[in-house]
Structure 1
Amino acid sequence: MEKPVIILGAKGIAHPALEIFNSHNVIVYGFLDEDASLHQKEINHVSVLGSTEDDGFLKLIGKKCEAFVAVDDPTYRKYLVKLLNERRKMQPINAVHKTAYISTDAAIGHGNFINGKVSLGAGASVGSHCIFHSGAVLEHLVEVGDYVQVGAGSIINSGVKIGEGAFIGSGAIIVSGVKIGKNARVGAGSLVIADVEEDTTVFGNPAKKLD
Protein backbone atom coordinates (compact mmCIF):
# COMPACT_ATOMS: atom_id res chain seq x y z
CA MET A 1 0.00 0.00 0.00
CA GLU A 2 1.60 3.23 -1.15
CA LYS A 3 -1.09 5.85 -0.66
CA PRO A 4 -1.66 7.50 2.73
CA VAL A 5 -4.93 6.84 4.56
CA ILE A 6 -7.65 9.08 5.93
CA ILE A 7 -9.48 7.47 8.85
CA LEU A 8 -13.19 8.29 9.15
CA GLY A 9 -14.00 8.37 12.85
CA ALA A 10 -11.75 9.39 15.74
CA LYS A 11 -13.17 7.29 18.59
CA GLY A 12 -13.49 3.58 19.38
CA ILE A 13 -11.37 1.54 16.98
CA ALA A 14 -9.78 4.65 15.40
CA HIS A 15 -6.74 4.62 17.71
CA PRO A 16 -5.92 0.91 17.23
CA ALA A 17 -6.53 1.33 13.48
CA LEU A 18 -3.90 4.07 13.46
CA GLU A 19 -1.52 1.74 15.28
CA ILE A 20 -2.13 -0.95 12.65
CA PHE A 21 -1.37 1.39 9.76
CA ASN A 22 1.70 2.74 11.56
CA SER A 23 3.01 -0.81 12.03
CA HIS A 24 2.84 -1.29 8.25
CA ASN A 25 4.61 2.05 7.65
CA VAL A 26 1.46 3.47 6.06
CA ILE A 27 1.07 7.21 6.53
CA VAL A 28 -2.21 8.29 8.11
CA TYR A 29 -3.00 11.74 6.75
CA GLY A 30 -5.53 12.46 9.47
CA PHE A 31 -8.89 11.66 11.02
CA LEU A 32 -12.35 12.97 10.14
CA ASP A 33 -15.09 12.96 12.78
CA GLU A 34 -18.56 14.46 13.13
CA ASP A 35 -17.76 15.60 16.70
CA ALA A 36 -16.55 19.19 16.30
CA SER A 37 -15.03 19.16 19.81
CA LEU A 38 -12.37 16.76 18.49
CA HIS A 39 -11.36 18.88 15.54
CA GLN A 40 -7.72 20.03 15.57
CA LYS A 41 -6.91 17.65 18.42
CA GLU A 42 -4.38 14.86 17.96
CA ILE A 43 -4.36 11.08 18.41
CA ASN A 44 -0.79 9.88 18.74
CA HIS A 45 0.45 12.95 16.85
CA VAL A 46 -2.12 12.63 14.03
CA SER A 47 -4.69 15.43 13.75
CA VAL A 48 -8.46 15.27 13.60
CA LEU A 49 -8.80 17.44 10.51
CA GLY A 50 -12.53 18.08 10.35
CA SER A 51 -15.94 16.57 9.67
CA THR A 52 -16.59 13.23 7.97
CA GLU A 53 -18.56 15.16 5.31
CA ASP A 54 -15.96 17.85 4.62
CA ASP A 55 -15.57 17.82 0.83
CA GLY A 56 -12.20 19.54 1.12
CA PHE A 57 -10.78 16.35 2.61
CA LEU A 58 -13.15 13.81 1.06
CA LYS A 59 -12.07 14.82 -2.44
CA LEU A 60 -8.59 13.45 -1.66
CA ILE A 61 -9.99 9.96 -1.11
CA GLY A 62 -9.72 7.72 -4.13
CA LYS A 63 -7.11 9.96 -5.71
CA LYS A 64 -4.32 10.83 -3.29
CA CYS A 65 -5.56 8.84 -0.28
CA GLU A 66 -7.24 5.61 0.72
CA ALA A 67 -9.93 5.56 3.42
CA PHE A 68 -10.73 3.40 6.42
CA VAL A 69 -14.00 3.63 8.38
CA ALA A 70 -13.21 3.39 12.10
CA VAL A 71 -16.72 3.51 13.52
CA ASP A 72 -18.14 0.92 15.93
CA ASP A 73 -21.82 1.78 15.47
CA PRO A 74 -23.06 -0.34 12.53
CA THR A 75 -25.71 2.14 11.37
CA TYR A 76 -23.27 5.03 11.15
CA ARG A 77 -20.62 2.72 9.70
CA LYS A 78 -23.01 1.79 6.89
CA TYR A 79 -23.76 5.47 6.29
CA LEU A 80 -20.07 6.33 5.91
CA VAL A 81 -19.39 3.35 3.66
CA LYS A 82 -22.31 4.41 1.46
CA LEU A 83 -20.94 7.96 1.39
CA LEU A 84 -17.57 6.70 0.16
CA ASN A 85 -19.19 4.38 -2.38
CA GLU A 86 -21.44 7.06 -3.84
CA ARG A 87 -19.39 10.25 -3.57
CA ARG A 88 -15.89 8.85 -4.04
CA LYS A 89 -16.68 5.65 -6.02
CA MET A 90 -14.37 3.59 -3.80
CA GLN A 91 -14.31 0.96 -1.05
CA PRO A 92 -12.57 1.39 2.31
CA ILE A 93 -9.37 -0.62 2.76
CA ASN A 94 -8.78 -3.34 5.36
CA ALA A 95 -6.82 -2.68 8.55
CA VAL A 96 -5.07 -5.95 9.45
CA HIS A 97 -2.70 -6.16 12.41
CA LYS A 98 0.72 -7.67 11.78
CA THR A 99 0.13 -10.38 14.36
CA ALA A 100 -3.18 -11.54 12.86
CA TYR A 101 -3.18 -14.94 11.13
CA ILE A 102 -5.18 -15.23 7.92
CA SER A 103 -5.14 -18.59 6.20
CA THR A 104 -3.90 -18.60 2.61
CA ASP A 105 -7.32 -19.70 1.40
CA ALA A 106 -9.46 -17.54 3.67
CA ALA A 107 -11.41 -14.82 1.85
CA ILE A 108 -12.05 -11.34 3.21
CA GLY A 109 -13.92 -8.39 1.75
CA HIS A 110 -13.31 -4.64 2.11
CA GLY A 111 -13.02 -2.30 5.07
CA ASN A 112 -12.51 -4.90 7.80
CA PHE A 113 -10.77 -4.18 11.12
CA ILE A 114 -8.71 -7.21 12.15
CA ASN A 115 -6.79 -6.59 15.37
CA GLY A 116 -3.82 -8.36 16.95
CA LYS A 117 -3.78 -12.16 17.37
CA VAL A 118 -7.00 -12.63 15.39
CA SER A 119 -7.01 -15.98 13.56
CA LEU A 120 -8.98 -16.77 10.39
CA GLY A 121 -8.82 -20.47 9.58
CA ALA A 122 -8.67 -22.39 6.33
CA GLY A 123 -11.55 -21.70 4.00
CA ALA A 124 -13.05 -19.05 6.27
CA SER A 125 -15.11 -16.42 4.45
CA VAL A 126 -15.53 -12.90 5.83
CA GLY A 127 -17.67 -10.19 4.26
CA SER A 128 -16.96 -6.47 4.36
CA HIS A 129 -16.84 -3.80 7.08
CA CYS A 130 -16.54 -6.27 9.97
CA ILE A 131 -14.73 -5.68 13.28
CA PHE A 132 -12.65 -8.43 14.88
CA HIS A 133 -11.18 -7.48 18.24
CA SER A 134 -7.93 -8.82 19.68
CA GLY A 135 -7.53 -12.59 19.93
CA ALA A 136 -10.78 -13.58 18.22
CA VAL A 137 -10.49 -17.04 16.65
CA LEU A 138 -12.52 -18.10 13.64
CA GLU A 139 -11.90 -21.74 12.77
CA HIS A 140 -12.00 -23.33 9.32
CA LEU A 141 -15.00 -22.86 7.03
CA VAL A 142 -16.61 -20.17 9.18
CA GLU A 143 -18.84 -17.81 7.15
CA VAL A 144 -19.29 -14.21 8.30
CA GLY A 145 -21.60 -11.66 6.69
CA ASP A 146 -21.06 -7.91 6.34
CA TYR A 147 -20.96 -5.53 9.33
CA VAL A 148 -20.40 -8.27 11.92
CA GLN A 149 -18.56 -7.46 15.15
CA VAL A 150 -16.71 -10.15 17.11
CA GLY A 151 -15.42 -9.33 20.60
CA ALA A 152 -11.96 -9.94 22.00
CA GLY A 153 -11.10 -13.55 22.77
CA SER A 154 -14.21 -15.03 21.20
CA ILE A 155 -13.97 -18.50 19.66
CA ILE A 156 -16.04 -19.24 16.58
CA ASN A 157 -15.75 -22.96 15.86
CA SER A 158 -15.71 -24.63 12.45
CA GLY A 159 -18.62 -24.30 10.07
CA VAL A 160 -20.40 -21.55 12.01
CA LYS A 161 -22.41 -19.09 9.90
CA ILE A 162 -22.88 -15.53 11.19
CA GLY A 163 -25.43 -13.28 9.50
CA GLU A 164 -25.03 -9.64 8.53
CA GLY A 165 -24.89 -7.15 11.39
CA ALA A 166 -24.58 -9.75 14.16
CA PHE A 167 -22.68 -8.92 17.35
CA ILE A 168 -20.65 -11.51 19.27
CA GLY A 169 -19.55 -10.32 22.73
CA SER A 170 -16.05 -10.74 24.15
CA GLY A 171 -15.12 -14.25 25.23
CA ALA A 172 -18.15 -15.92 23.67
CA ILE A 173 -17.86 -19.45 22.31
CA ILE A 174 -19.96 -20.55 19.33
CA VAL A 175 -19.87 -24.33 18.84
CA SER A 176 -19.39 -25.96 15.44
CA GLY A 177 -22.17 -25.74 12.88
CA VAL A 178 -24.31 -23.15 14.68
CA LYS A 179 -26.05 -20.42 12.68
CA ILE A 180 -26.24 -16.88 14.08
CA GLY A 181 -29.00 -14.89 12.40
CA LYS A 182 -28.88 -11.42 10.92
CA ASN A 183 -28.57 -8.66 13.56
CA ALA A 184 -28.53 -11.20 16.39
CA ARG A 185 -26.57 -10.43 19.56
CA VAL A 186 -24.58 -12.85 21.69
CA GLY A 187 -23.67 -11.65 25.19
CA ALA A 188 -20.08 -11.61 26.44
CA GLY A 189 -18.87 -14.95 27.79
CA SER A 190 -21.82 -16.89 26.44
CA LEU A 191 -21.66 -20.49 25.20
CA VAL A 192 -23.86 -20.86 22.14
CA ILE A 193 -24.82 -24.47 21.37
CA ALA A 194 -27.92 -23.89 19.21
CA ASP A 195 -28.93 -21.63 16.32
CA VAL A 196 -29.81 -18.02 17.13
CA GLU A 197 -32.66 -16.41 15.19
CA GLU A 198 -32.47 -13.03 13.47
CA ASP A 199 -32.79 -9.94 15.70
CA THR A 200 -32.53 -12.08 18.84
CA THR A 201 -30.30 -11.54 21.89
CA VAL A 202 -28.94 -14.55 23.78
CA PHE A 203 -26.81 -14.76 26.89
CA GLY A 204 -25.48 -17.33 29.34
CA ASN A 205 -24.00 -20.84 29.55
CA PRO A 206 -25.68 -22.34 27.69
CA ALA A 207 -26.94 -19.21 25.93
CA LYS A 208 -30.66 -18.55 26.17
CA LYS A 209 -32.90 -15.95 24.59
CA LEU A 210 -33.45 -12.77 26.61
CA ASP A 211 -37.02 -11.54 26.79
Structure 2
Amino acid sequence: MENPVIIFGTGGLGRAALEIFESNGNVVYGFLDDDKKLHNTDIDNIPVLGSTTDQGFLKLIGQKCEAFVATDDSKEKQSIAKVLIEKRKVMPTNAIHPSAYIAKSAVLGHGNFINANVTLGAGSDISNHCILHSGCTVDHDAKLGDFVQVGAGATVSAHVELGENAFVGAGAVIITGVKIGKNARVGAGSVVIADVAKGETVFGNPAVKIEQ
Protein backbone atom coordinates (compact mmCIF):
# COMPACT_ATOMS: atom_id res chain seq x y z
CA MET A 1 0.00 0.00 0.00
CA GLU A 2 1.61 3.23 -1.16
CA ASN A 3 -0.85 5.80 0.16
CA PRO A 4 -1.48 6.54 3.85
CA VAL A 5 -4.71 5.33 5.45
CA ILE A 6 -7.57 7.19 7.10
CA ILE A 7 -9.36 5.01 9.67
CA PHE A 8 -13.08 5.55 10.24
CA GLY A 9 -13.73 4.89 13.94
CA THR A 10 -11.61 5.30 17.07
CA GLY A 11 -12.92 2.40 19.16
CA GLY A 12 -11.21 -0.89 19.90
CA LEU A 13 -11.45 -2.01 16.29
CA GLY A 14 -9.95 1.27 15.10
CA ARG A 15 -7.00 0.98 17.48
CA ALA A 16 -6.49 -2.66 16.46
CA ALA A 17 -6.54 -1.61 12.80
CA LEU A 18 -3.98 1.10 13.56
CA GLU A 19 -1.63 -1.49 15.05
CA ILE A 20 -2.11 -3.75 12.03
CA PHE A 21 -1.34 -1.01 9.52
CA GLU A 22 1.69 0.19 11.46
CA SER A 23 3.02 -3.36 11.90
CA ASN A 24 2.79 -3.73 8.10
CA GLY A 25 4.76 -0.54 7.61
CA ASN A 26 1.78 1.52 6.45
CA VAL A 27 1.31 5.16 7.44
CA VAL A 28 -1.96 6.12 9.13
CA TYR A 29 -2.87 9.72 8.31
CA GLY A 30 -5.51 9.99 11.03
CA PHE A 31 -8.89 8.91 12.40
CA LEU A 32 -12.36 10.16 11.56
CA ASP A 33 -15.03 9.80 14.25
CA ASP A 34 -18.43 11.38 14.88
CA ASP A 35 -17.75 11.99 18.58
CA LYS A 36 -16.91 15.70 18.55
CA LYS A 37 -15.21 15.43 21.95
CA LEU A 38 -12.45 13.42 20.28
CA HIS A 39 -11.77 15.91 17.51
CA ASN A 40 -8.33 17.53 17.66
CA THR A 41 -7.12 14.92 20.14
CA ASP A 42 -4.66 12.06 19.59
CA ILE A 43 -5.25 8.34 19.98
CA ASP A 44 -2.08 6.29 20.18
CA ASN A 45 -0.24 9.33 18.76
CA ILE A 46 -2.51 9.55 15.73
CA PRO A 47 -4.79 12.62 15.37
CA VAL A 48 -8.59 12.49 15.27
CA LEU A 49 -9.13 14.79 12.30
CA GLY A 50 -12.89 15.24 12.25
CA SER A 51 -16.20 13.49 11.59
CA THR A 52 -16.85 10.64 9.19
CA THR A 53 -18.76 13.03 6.92
CA ASP A 54 -16.08 15.74 6.75
CA GLN A 55 -15.83 16.49 3.04
CA GLY A 56 -12.39 18.07 3.41
CA PHE A 57 -10.95 14.70 4.39
CA LEU A 58 -13.29 12.50 2.35
CA LYS A 59 -12.08 14.13 -0.86
CA LEU A 60 -8.55 12.92 -0.11
CA ILE A 61 -9.70 9.29 -0.23
CA GLY A 62 -9.01 7.71 -3.56
CA GLN A 63 -6.46 10.39 -4.46
CA LYS A 64 -3.95 10.75 -1.63
CA CYS A 65 -5.33 8.33 0.99
CA GLU A 66 -6.85 4.89 1.40
CA ALA A 67 -9.78 4.28 3.77
CA PHE A 68 -10.55 1.60 6.33
CA VAL A 69 -13.91 1.38 8.16
CA ALA A 70 -13.28 0.24 11.73
CA THR A 71 -16.63 -0.35 13.38
CA ASP A 72 -18.47 -3.53 14.35
CA ASP A 73 -21.83 -1.71 14.13
CA SER A 74 -23.07 -3.24 10.89
CA LYS A 75 -25.48 -0.43 9.96
CA GLU A 76 -22.81 2.22 10.52
CA LYS A 77 -20.28 0.18 8.57
CA GLN A 78 -22.68 -0.25 5.66
CA SER A 79 -23.50 3.46 5.64
CA ILE A 80 -19.85 4.58 5.54
CA ALA A 81 -18.93 1.95 2.97
CA LYS A 82 -21.81 3.11 0.76
CA VAL A 83 -20.54 6.70 0.84
CA LEU A 84 -16.99 5.61 -0.02
CA ILE A 85 -18.09 3.36 -2.87
CA GLU A 86 -20.82 5.51 -4.41
CA LYS A 87 -19.47 9.01 -3.87
CA ARG A 88 -15.71 8.50 -3.74
CA LYS A 89 -15.68 5.48 -6.09
CA VAL A 90 -13.27 3.76 -3.70
CA MET A 91 -13.44 0.37 -1.99
CA PRO A 92 -12.07 0.36 1.57
CA THR A 93 -8.73 -1.37 1.98
CA ASN A 94 -8.11 -4.56 3.98
CA ALA A 95 -6.46 -4.59 7.40
CA ILE A 96 -4.60 -7.91 7.67
CA HIS A 97 -2.48 -8.78 10.69
CA PRO A 98 0.98 -10.07 9.70
CA SER A 99 0.45 -13.25 11.77
CA ALA A 100 -2.68 -14.25 9.82
CA TYR A 101 -2.35 -17.28 7.54
CA ILE A 102 -4.10 -16.87 4.19
CA ALA A 103 -3.93 -19.78 1.74
CA LYS A 104 -2.73 -18.91 -1.75
CA SER A 105 -6.02 -20.07 -3.22
CA ALA A 106 -8.19 -18.09 -0.79
CA VAL A 107 -10.24 -15.28 -2.32
CA LEU A 108 -10.37 -12.01 -0.42
CA GLY A 109 -12.55 -8.99 -1.12
CA HIS A 110 -12.16 -5.43 0.19
CA GLY A 111 -12.53 -3.65 3.51
CA ASN A 112 -11.97 -6.76 5.62
CA PHE A 113 -10.48 -6.79 9.14
CA ILE A 114 -8.37 -9.92 9.71
CA ASN A 115 -6.79 -10.00 13.15
CA ALA A 116 -3.91 -11.94 14.69
CA ASN A 117 -3.61 -15.68 14.07
CA VAL A 118 -6.64 -15.93 11.79
CA THR A 119 -6.48 -18.87 9.36
CA LEU A 120 -8.11 -18.81 5.94
CA GLY A 121 -7.99 -22.24 4.32
CA ALA A 122 -7.56 -23.26 0.68
CA GLY A 123 -10.35 -22.07 -1.56
CA SER A 124 -12.06 -20.07 1.17
CA ASP A 125 -13.96 -17.05 -0.13
CA ILE A 126 -14.24 -13.90 1.99
CA SER A 127 -16.41 -11.18 0.47
CA ASN A 128 -16.26 -7.52 1.53
CA HIS A 129 -16.31 -5.65 4.86
CA CYS A 130 -16.01 -8.76 7.05
CA ILE A 131 -14.56 -8.81 10.57
CA LEU A 132 -12.52 -11.87 11.53
CA HIS A 133 -11.37 -11.66 15.13
CA SER A 134 -8.21 -13.12 16.67
CA GLY A 135 -7.56 -16.82 16.23
CA CYS A 136 -10.66 -17.72 14.25
CA THR A 137 -10.48 -20.30 11.47
CA VAL A 138 -12.29 -20.26 8.15
CA ASP A 139 -11.58 -23.70 6.71
CA HIS A 140 -11.22 -24.75 3.09
CA ASP A 141 -13.96 -23.88 0.62
CA ALA A 142 -16.02 -21.97 3.20
CA LYS A 143 -17.76 -18.85 1.90
CA LEU A 144 -18.53 -15.63 3.77
CA GLY A 145 -20.90 -12.97 2.44
CA ASP A 146 -20.52 -9.22 2.89
CA PHE A 147 -20.42 -7.72 6.41
CA VAL A 148 -20.01 -11.08 8.18
CA GLN A 149 -18.48 -11.10 11.68
CA VAL A 150 -16.66 -14.13 13.13
CA GLY A 151 -15.69 -14.00 16.81
CA ALA A 152 -12.35 -14.78 18.39
CA GLY A 153 -11.44 -18.46 18.33
CA ALA A 154 -14.50 -19.50 16.34
CA THR A 155 -14.28 -22.27 13.74
CA VAL A 156 -16.07 -22.02 10.42
CA SER A 157 -15.57 -25.51 9.02
CA ALA A 158 -15.11 -26.60 5.41
CA HIS A 159 -17.87 -25.82 2.88
CA VAL A 160 -19.82 -23.68 5.36
CA GLU A 161 -21.70 -20.70 3.91
CA LEU A 162 -22.35 -17.56 5.96
CA GLY A 163 -24.90 -15.18 4.47
CA GLU A 164 -24.60 -11.41 4.36
CA ASN A 165 -24.37 -9.75 7.80
CA ALA A 166 -24.32 -13.09 9.65
CA PHE A 167 -22.71 -13.07 13.10
CA VAL A 168 -20.77 -15.94 14.69
CA GLY A 169 -19.88 -15.49 18.36
CA ALA A 170 -16.53 -16.17 19.99
CA GLY A 171 -15.56 -19.81 20.27
CA ALA A 172 -18.50 -21.08 18.23
CA VAL A 173 -18.09 -24.06 15.90
CA ILE A 174 -19.98 -24.32 12.62
CA ILE A 175 -19.91 -27.94 11.43
CA THR A 176 -18.90 -28.80 7.85
CA GLY A 177 -21.42 -27.94 5.15
CA VAL A 178 -23.82 -25.93 7.32
CA LYS A 179 -25.49 -22.85 5.80
CA ILE A 180 -26.09 -19.77 7.95
CA GLY A 181 -28.63 -17.35 6.49
CA LYS A 182 -28.51 -13.60 6.00
CA ASN A 183 -28.64 -11.61 9.28
CA ALA A 184 -28.56 -14.82 11.35
CA ARG A 185 -26.71 -14.88 14.68
CA VAL A 186 -24.83 -17.70 16.38
CA GLY A 187 -24.21 -17.32 20.10
CA ALA A 188 -20.75 -17.57 21.62
CA GLY A 189 -19.55 -21.12 22.26
CA SER A 190 -22.34 -22.71 20.27
CA VAL A 191 -21.95 -25.81 18.11
CA VAL A 192 -24.06 -25.51 14.97
CA ILE A 193 -24.86 -28.85 13.32
CA ALA A 194 -27.82 -27.80 11.13
CA ASP A 195 -28.66 -24.95 8.77
CA VAL A 196 -29.80 -21.65 10.30
CA ALA A 197 -32.48 -19.67 8.47
CA LYS A 198 -32.06 -15.98 7.68
CA GLY A 199 -32.66 -13.71 10.65
CA GLU A 200 -32.65 -16.55 13.20
CA THR A 201 -30.60 -16.57 16.41
CA VAL A 202 -29.26 -19.90 17.68
CA PHE A 203 -27.38 -20.84 20.82
CA GLY A 204 -26.14 -23.94 22.65
CA ASN A 205 -24.55 -27.32 22.00
CA PRO A 206 -26.11 -28.38 19.77
CA ALA A 207 -27.38 -24.94 18.83
CA VAL A 208 -31.15 -24.41 18.87
CA LYS A 209 -33.28 -21.47 17.81
CA ILE A 210 -33.80 -18.72 20.37
CA GLU A 211 -37.22 -17.09 20.17
CA GLN A 212 -37.06 -13.31 19.94
Cα distance between partner residues in 1 of 2:118 and 2:15: 17
Find the counterpart in structure 1 of residue 11 from structure 2. 11
Please state if 1:28 is matched with 2:28: yes
Please name the residue that 1:137 is paired with. 137
Does the alignment pair 1:178 with 2:178?
yes
Shift of the alpha carbon at 1:198?
A: 0.3
Deviation at 1:57, TM superposition (A): 0.8
Please tell me the residue identity of whatever aligns with 1:7: I
**Are the equivalent residues in 2 in contact too, given 1:171–1:190 (CA < 8 A)?**
yes
CA contact (8 A) 1:174 1:192 kept: yes
Aligned to 1:110: 110
In the TM superposition, residue 35 of structure 1 has moved relative to its aligned partner by 1.1
Between the aligned partners of 1:168 and 1:49, the Cα distance in structure 2 is: 33
Query: Residue 12 of structure 1: CA displacement?
Result: 3.1
Q: Partners of 1:136 and 1:41 in 2: how far apart?
A: 33
Report the TM-score, using the length of structure 2 for normalisation.
0.98
1:64 Cα shift?
Answer: 0.5
Assess if the C-alpha contact under 8 Å between 1:12 and 1:72 holds in 2.
Answer: no
Listed as ranges, the matches of 1:93-172 within 5 Å are 93-172=93-172
Q: Which position in structure 1 is the counterpart of 2:66?
A: 66
What is the rounded CA distance, in whole Å, between the counterparts of 2:181 and 2:101 in structure 1?
26
Identity of aligned residues (%): 58
Moved over 3 A (4+): none
Letter in 2 for 1:196: V
**RMSD (Å), alpha carbons:** 0.6
Q: Distance in 2 between matches of 1:146 and 1:59?
A: 25
1:202 paired residue number: 202
- Structure 1 unaligned residues grouped into runs of 5+: none
For the pair 1:49 / 2:20, whether they are aligned, the reply is: no
Shift of 1:180: 0.4
**Secondary structure of residue in 2 paired with 1:13:** helix
Letter in 2 for 1:164: E
Deviation digits for residues 22-44 of structure 1, max 9, x if unmatched?
A: 00110000000111111122221
Distance in 2, Cα, partners of 1:118 & 1:189: 17
Q: Indicate the SS of the match to 1:25.
A: coil
The alpha carbon displacement at 1:10 in A equals 1.1
Match in the other structure for 2:87: 87
SS of corresponding position for 2:203: strand
More deviation in 3-12 or 96-105?
3-12
Structure 2 CA distance for aligned equivalents of residues 84 and 12 of structure 1? 22
Q: Relative to structure 2, which stretch is displaced further, 134-143 or 3-12?
A: 3-12
SS of 1:6's partner is: strand
